[in-house]
Structure 1
């Protein structure tokens, strides 16, 4: 943009992966940002100071809904789950036609990782729900230090890391996360970024964040209770992390030995932050291989306004 040109842009905030306001993962979406420079987008993201801020731009292809750029408070990223869900839901709500009080929309979003197809549905008496097929399947990536080093990085003791045949592992599906299984709900509640021990355990691994998970859950309908720390990209803790849930699908397939078919898992996150979230994770296994991962969740609009640039 011409930096001395005054603009006022419409923005919305949404809470994503929740069916009620003030839960889930908050997201800012700024519309009409085509004239903004990347530096200005980054400054706006720092101003919102949410885990991610999206800038919606005009699409480069006629069949696509929009192009979007995603920024954390520190950097631009090529893909993230809750920005994808929230942006698609917002665009469908603003633009899709209503039929008999309901609407369904297919939103095609151009992201740094590629084009992401998102299905959104709106039903009376229920919050909007959207889901997308992961643009990349999870793959193992990187090597982690021994369990005692990992445990120290999280402020835990070594016996609290790992359960059944699950052990710490790195998976990537656009971002690389360290996945750390933890024995109990009580232990995962004590996990934290533990100073210099964290740096030794994780800062040299080239990962986006650390995703700790346990089978012990707050709700009986959930399969995993998780937390995600990403101080490297300016996120002390994330209330809901769709991109990491894609990687979780890889280790569930690997460690749990899923048979061929479609499998659903509900992942709960954000409870320690007072922002409970639910991510619907769908895995499809065929001929013994993970062939599709889908991420779904609800979102609600919280606020709207104008930002002066």
Structure 2
């Protein structure tokens, strides 16, 4: 029997038991693919990460990300939290890391306090914004347990968008609808069956304007995440998509998520136009919670 060290971190928060939980295996050498998936299912968190030596020595590490049912090409809070864990071991002394992921290289900027302690990180999405298909407001409303009139379509209809991670459906809703929304598993399954282009995947990122910022909720029940308290790989396409709609050259946007779950999270995003397309970043704080060993 082998033992493998792990730590858990709360991400996109400055206090324990807020933000989004993450399990990190800082040295995953010798852990097989099936074992990684089994460990992710056992932790039953939205994601678990496994750190391996980089394939290119110019990079800091290779990071594999698993949700409860599959490996992911990129995800936001796992990248931020894993970067924080790696910084505790001494990597990133110059304030930067480069993480190899399936979707590409994730550039990391470490955040430090006045005493020099790493408190969090910001990561750049590995790909430019890609805007995909539009979905009927009626179908999306049913998935969120809402009425079609709860979906705000003045600026855009529900739209798929991604920048390296799984595509998210970006949905503007009313204030009352954001509070009342709940995922309806049957409607998710019917919508996926009616739209083969979704490839069997469907995640909703509901949002509403809140002053200069945004309040958001994310539902992905088909992957076992009934609701997610902080979704970096949805925050970056939302920031990029809103910049796309505005016509501006760059923007900053703070997104509050997880309030309805009792795990308030703050995701600080930026987006800018570049020659390769709209690029976005997301950052936030990290707090350690648990450490231990898994037996394999």
Is the TM-score greater than 0.5? yes
Q: State whether residues 279 and 295 of structure 1, in contact with CA within 8 Å, keep that contact through their aligned partners in structure 2.
A: yes
TM-aligned CA deviation for residue 172 of structure 1? 2.1
Matched, 1:227 2:217: yes
Partners of 1:121 and 1:127 in 2: CA distance? 6
1:292 is aligned to: 279
TM-score, normalisation: structure 2: 0.91
Mapped pair 1:302 → 2:296:
no
For 2:185 and 2:5, locate their aligned partners in 1 and report how far apart those are by CA, in whole Å. 39
The structure with more radius of gyration? 1
Q: Is the 8 A contact 2:204 2:220 kept in 1?
A: yes
**Is contact 2:6–2:23 with CA below 8 Å preserved after alignment?**
yes
Contact 2:8-2:22 within 8 A present in 1 as well: yes
Q: Which residue of 203, 206, 231 maps to 1:209?
A: 203
The root-mean-square deviation of aligned C-alpha atoms, in Å, is 2.0
> What is the match of residue 73 of structure 1?
68
The more displaced of 152-161 and 35-44 is 152-161
> How many residues were matched structurally?
290
CA distance in 2 between partners of 1:292 and 1:254 (Å): 11
Partner of 1:112: 102
Query: What is the CA-CA distance between 1:143 and the residue it aligns to?
Result: 3.5
Secondary structure class of the residue paired with 1:141? strand
Q: Does 1:247 align with 2:237?
A: yes
Instruction: Write the distance in 2 (CA, Å) between the matches of 1:227 and 1:290.
Output: 26
Gaps of 5+ in 2: none
> Would the aligned equivalents of 2:192 and 2:202 in 1 still touch at CA under 8 Å?
no
The answer as to 2:82 corresponding to 1:82 is: no
Measured against aligned partners, the alpha-carbon deviations of 1:174-210 in whole angstroms (never above 9, x if no partner) come to 22111111011x2111111124233233454334411
Contact 1:170 1:179 survives alignment (8 Å): yes
1:21 deviates by 0.6
In the alignment, structure 1 segments of 5+ residues that lack a partner are 1-5, 98-102
Higher deviation after alignment, 292-301 or 245-254: 245-254
In structure 2, the CA distance between the partners of 1:133 and 1:282, relative to structure 1 (3 Å rule), is same
CA 230–40 in structure 1, closer or farther in 2 if over 3 Å, else same: same
Retained in 1: the 8 A contact 2:134–2:158? no
Q: Is 2:165 the counterpart of 1:177? A: no
How far apart, CA to CA, are the structure 1 residues paired with 2:73 and 2:187? 29
8 Å Cα contact 2:6/2:26 also seen in 1: yes
Point out 4+ residue stretches in structure 1 off by more than 3 angstroms: 124-127, 201-204
